[in-house]
Amino acid sequence: MKSTNSISVSVNGQVHEREVESRLLLSDFLRHELGLTGTHVGCEHGVCGACTIQLDGEPVRSCLLFAVQTDGHSITTVEGLAEDRDHLHPIQQAFWEAHGLQCGYCTPGILMTMIPFLEQNPDPSEQEIRKALSGNLCRCTGYQHIVDAVSLAARKMKAINSGS
């Protein structure tokens, strides 16, 4: 019988050891057990993308994983992006400057999806950005400002990587 399990998981660089019920979703574990409410919960069946986090560096839906499955793995959430309040991640800065959000509900999932995308595609076309965004629903912006923000983020991240 294993309906509860002890897990050890690294979240934003900090190791947490917890006893979790088998059925506890990773999204609920992050929000309720660790208090990391930046990961938002939308549809809870893998369609909206709001709960996207990075598992071992790859974007995945945290509502489609059980917390127990992350035992021994490493997670990054939106809280792990900025160094502090005055030093946002370049993609966060770009979303601020280009008005890439209105209500902000979908934003954390979009950021966690787009960072690996931009790392693999430093110079994406608008079409590629739109395709990469297709797994994240936004009901406010009409997407145009999100596309602009991702494009600005690409330029910022490229500038940083080239050391200028």
Partner 1 sequence: MKPASFDYHRPDTLDEALTLLNRYGDEAKLLAGGQSLVPAMNFRVAQPAVLIDLNNLRELDFVRDNNGSLSIGAMTRERRLEFDPLIARHLPLLTETMPNVAHPQIRNRGTLGGSLAHADPAAELPVIMLALGARLKARSGAAERWITAPDFFKGLFTTDLAPDEILVEIELPFMGAGTGWSFMEVAPRAGDYALMGVAAVIQLDKEGKCQQARLVYLNAGEGPLEAKAASKSLSGADLDDSAIETAARTASQDEIQPFGNLHASPDFQRHLAHELTIRTLKLALARAGKDRLQ
- Contact residues: partner 1, CB under 8 A: 1-3, 5, 21-25, 28, 44-46, 49, 52, 55, 58-61, 63-66, 68-69, 71, 113, 117, 131-132, 134-135
Q: Which is nearer to partner 1, 3 or 14 (CB)?
A: 3
Q: Which is nearer to partner 1, 88 or 135 (CB)?
A: 135
Measured in degrees and rounded to the nearest 5, phi and psi for residue 108 equal -55, -40
Minimum distance between the CB of residue 108 and partner 1, rounded to whole angstroms? 13
Q: Which is nearer to partner 1, 7 or 157 (CB)?
A: 7
User: How far apart are the C-alpha atoms of 26 and 100, rounded to whole Å?
Assistant: 27
Minimum distance between the CB of residue 16 and partner 1, rounded to whole angstroms? 18
Q: Give one word for 35, left, alpha or beta, with left for phi > 0 and alpha for psi -120 to 50.
A: left
Nearest to 22 by CA among 34, 5, 39, 44: 5
Residue 133 CA from chain centroid, whole number: 12
Minimum distance between the CB of residue 163 and partner 1, rounded to whole angstroms? 29
Asked if 39 and 111 touch (Cβ cutoff 8 Å), the reply is no
Q: Which is nearer to partner 1, 99 or 144 (CB)?
A: 144
Minimum distance between the CB of residue 72 and partner 1, rounded to whole angstroms? 10
Q: Give one word for 101, left, alpha or beta, with left for phi > 0 and alpha for psi -120 to 50.
A: beta
Residue 37 CA from chain centroid, whole number: 12
Minimum distance between the CB of residue 104 and partner 1, rounded to whole angstroms? 19
Asked if 59 and 113 touch (Cβ cutoff 8 Å), the reply is yes
Q: Which is nearer to partner 1, 56 or 123 (CB)?
A: 56
